[in-house]
């Protein structure tokens, strides 16, 4: 998500941030580039005009042009404008106390990922200690109830289902059962349509009037671009949405919808779906997204993701091995597994300061090839790569479908990496910076 926008903004930021002096022409030319980048990213035209006009107005202020680092001041101004565009702070769910049922109504078009998102949200709330029940109120799409039941089982939460009843009756009965069995969150999955129509709105309005939800969340497909904002407007006018969940955030490279919702309909993006797995639903942080768009990275999210996916004891053991220069190819192989859990190297690079826009140049095939080579080695070879002479290299090349020169290159690069890893592992300064970033969040 946002890849093309990040590439454009990173390039703009690199060019102007280092300037010791900027002129009105510099500013206007740069803002024009920003305007083009936003329009190409499918950001709403009214939103683009508003941002451009305000940016030019404030950037031409003498405090920016005559500051000590005018280029950096300008980039900070752009960053702040994007944050304001996205909605300033994160907007989490409004949940009642544990003795009362919080009702969350999910709405959206067919194919937006609503049913999967219902299960993701249930999984997230369960991990926070909530007792969650899902209600299958979609009686229009064939097999939707079965799909939700399978997802509920994977998430380890309860599901309420009734065949043939009207959606409002199913929702009402689900709420009654949720109260009786002392659940504290009820998530109602409603039917989607191919397009917004009055019949659909009346059906959802009846569900809303019956259960009086605390949250009404639109699940919008990030890949639909500006039309997602128009869809959100229609749902908001009919239901008064409390927020948006943007699904398939990992698939779209434009990202205009994410930058348009708050300004156009005044409702925040609360969560983003970043993958197919149930745990891949994240709270939407405008400041972190703005930093990534400008190529500033997102160290806080990187540290949080590492904490969630990597075992602390394993990480500390590997750090100690790096510091002592006993880090082996077997340890290196273990890192491949950790990277996959964190979304892959490309995902991580996007969160690293100064690496925004460089992810597209990453050769993922190279990493897969290296993994295949290491898997073709014996355990003894992985633990002591110095014993891998010409005959062993030929055998490993045959086993991994590579060449002897590929094996030699890997071993040479691994030796270089070990030296660098040793320095990083011993760097207390880097560790303090990462911890500081996590605390400030």
Residue with tokens 């239901």: 239
User: Could you list the pLDDT tens digit for every one of the 441 residues in the chain?
Assistant: 567 777 788 788 777 876 777 788 888 888 898 899 888 888 888 888 888 888 888 888 766 666 657 777 788 888 888 888 888 788 889 898 878 999 999 999 888 889 999 999 999 999 999 999 999 998 887 788 999 999 999 999 999 998 878 999 999 999 999 999 999 999 999 988 767 778 778 889 999 999 999 999 999 987 777 788 888 888 999 999 999 999 888 765 566 777 888 888 899 999 999 888 898 899 998 888 887 777 655 444 544 555 555 555 655 665 666 666 677 888 888 777 666 665 555 555 554 444 444 444 445 677 788 889 999 999 999 999 999 999 999 999 999 999 999 999 999 888 887 777 666 555 544 454 444 444 444
Which tokens belong to 328? 């082996």
Domain 300-440 in CATH 1.10.260.30? The answer is yes
pLDDT of residue 320: 67
- Overall pTM surpassing 0.75 (yes/no): no
**Furthest CA-CA distance within the chain:** 75
Q: Are 272 and 284 in contact (CB under 8 A)?
A: yes
pLDDT of residue 296: 59
Whole-angstrom distance, CA of residue 249 vs CA of residue 2: 9
pLDDT of residue 201: 86
Domain 3-86 in CATH 1.10.760.10? The answer is no
Which tokens belong to 204? 């959802």
DSSP codes of every residue in 264-305: HHS--EEEEE-SSSTT-EEE--HHHHHHHHTT---HHHHHHH
Virtual CA dihedral for 215, 236, 106, 190, nearest 10 degrees? 130
Which stretches does DSSP call E strand in 137-268?
A: 158-160, 185-189, 215-221, 243-247
pLDDT of residue 312: 56
Whole-angstrom distance, CA of residue 30 vs CA of residue 23: 11
Percent of the chain that is helix, strand, coil (3-state, to 5): 60, 10, 30
pLDDT of residue 315: 58
Fold match between domain 3-86 and domain 300-440: no
CA atoms within 13 A on the CB side of 224: 20
Q: Which fold, 102-293?
A: Rossmann fold (3.40.50)
Domain boundaries, the chain: 3-86, 102-293, 300-440
Cβ density class 181-200: b for 16+ within 10 Å, e for less? eebbbbbbbbbbbeeeeeeb
pLDDT of residue 229: 84
């Amino acid at each position: 998500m946002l890849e093309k926008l990040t590439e454009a903004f990173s390039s703009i930021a690199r060019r102007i941030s280092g300037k010791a002096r900027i002129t009105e022409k510099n500013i206007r030319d740069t803002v024009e580039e920003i305007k083009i980048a936003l329009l190409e990213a499918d950001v709403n035209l009214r939103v683009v005009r508003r941002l451009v006009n305000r940016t030019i107005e404030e950037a031409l202020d003498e405090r920016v042009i005559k500051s000590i680092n005018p280029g950096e001041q300008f980039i900070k101004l752009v960053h702040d404008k994007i944050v304001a565009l996205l909605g300033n702070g994160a907007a989490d769910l409004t949940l009642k106390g544990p003795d009362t049922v919080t009702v969350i109504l999910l709405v959206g078009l067919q194919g937006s990922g609503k049913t999967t998102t219902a299960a993701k949200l249930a999984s997230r709330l369960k991990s926070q200690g909530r007792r969650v029940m899902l209600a299958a109120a979609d009686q229009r799409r064939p097999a939707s109830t079965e799909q939700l039941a399978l997802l509920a089982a994977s998430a380890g939460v309860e599901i309420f289902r009734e065949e043939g009843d009207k959606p409002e009756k199913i929702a009402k009965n689900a709420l009654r059962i949720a109260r009786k069995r002392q659940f504290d969150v009820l998530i109602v999955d409603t039917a989607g349509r191919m397009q917004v129509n009055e019949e659909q709105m009346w059906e959802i309005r009846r569900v809303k009037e019956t259960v009086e939800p605390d949250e009404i969340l639109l699940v919008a497909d990030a890949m639909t671009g500006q039309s997602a904002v128009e869809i959100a407007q229609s749902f908001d006018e009919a239901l008064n949405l409390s927020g948006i969940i943007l699904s398939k955030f990992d698939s779209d490279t434009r990202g205009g919808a994410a930058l348009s919702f708050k300004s156009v309909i005044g409702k925040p993006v609360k969560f983003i779906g970043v993958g197919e797995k149930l745990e891949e639903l994240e709270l939407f942080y405008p400041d972190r997204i703005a930093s990534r768009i400008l190529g500033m990275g997102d160290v806080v999210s990187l540290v949080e993701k590492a904490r969630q996916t990597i075992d602390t004891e394993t990480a500390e053991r590997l750090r100690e091995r790096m510091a002592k220069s006993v880090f082996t190819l077997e340890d290196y192989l273990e890192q491949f597994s950790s990277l996959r859990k964190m979304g892959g190297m490309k995902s991580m690079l996007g969160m690293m300061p100064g690496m925004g826009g460089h992810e597209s140049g990453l050769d993922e095939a190279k990493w897969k090839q290296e993994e295949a080579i290491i898997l073709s080695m014996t355990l003894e070879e992985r633990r002591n790569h110095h014993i891998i002479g010409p005959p062993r290299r030929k055998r490993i090349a045959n086993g991994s479908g590579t060449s002897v020169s590929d094996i030699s290159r890997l071993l040479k690069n691994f030796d270089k990496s070990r030296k660098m890893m040793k320095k990083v592992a011993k760097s207390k300064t880097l560790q303090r910076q990462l911890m500081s970033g996590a605390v400030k969040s």
